Amino acid sequence: LAGHDIAIFIEEKTASELDIQGYATRAMQAIGADAELAVVIGGDGTMLMAARALGNFDIPLVGVNRGNFGFLTDISSDMMLPTMTRILAGEYTLEQRIMLCVEVERNGEFISKGRAFNDAVVSKGTTAKLIELDMTVDGQAVTHQRSDGMIISTPTGTTAYALSAGGPVLHPSMDATTIVPICPHTLTSRPIIVNSASKIQIQFTRGENARIQVDGLPYMELELGDKVLITRHERTVTLLHPAGHSHYEVLRKKLYWG
């Protein structure tokens, strides 16, 4: 990058922890305001963090994989230099992906608000007992469920926890939200897909304890009667892919589809 006469900012905490010298450092918010491209080096968790942190800025993200699966990080570390050279030459495509707005209502007041790039998970706590949840979509009753919880996923998140729970794989460009039950105590409960504009409400109605967790971040304990409200976030995330990127090729490689 420096060889192409491009100004480089390193996120300040990363620079401090890795003792990176010789480059300007910026807080994440300053990078979002000043930079034209964010190069995220790490795994999918690192990309999720960057997507949330930079979600208020119109800055594309490109990922260099240093993790395991790397569904969100297109570039392998050994191909970083030649691939970045092609990207700087204009050989890339841009893709918009949705996020979710996740709010918790308790006794008529909103006590928590966050955004999810992958998923929001309402689940039982530390006990091995089921919890009971009531779910509505756009004000219409959908299910009263006894289970270990529910996963509400963006299309991006359908290759994560939702996939492990038996959910479908959605193309990341779809304008939809997937709702996947976790170990429901019924043979007829199945994942459903709704329009991303829908308003999803999940209420904790019975059980010893439950929690809400967004994108794998530290969870928040729920109390009986709490409502989790999930809608499409007003902002989107822009991912930059090297030219020739194929979502189906990623699925074949990462999920060993042959």
Supply the residues annotated as catalytic: 44
Closest CA to 250 of 63, 70, 94, 43: 70
Six-digit token string for 91: 């050989």
Closest CA to 230 of 97, 131, 116: 116
> Which are the contacts of 35, defined by CB distance < 8 A and separation ≥ 6?
9, 26, 59
The answer to whether the CB of 153 falls within 8 A of the CB of 160 is yes
Query: Backbone phi, then psi, for 46, in 5-degree steps?
Result: -65, -40
Residue whose C-alpha is closest to residue 54's, from 186, 236, 244, 249? 236
> Can you tell me the distance from the alpha carbon of 152 to that of 136, in angstroms, rounded to the nearest whole number?
13
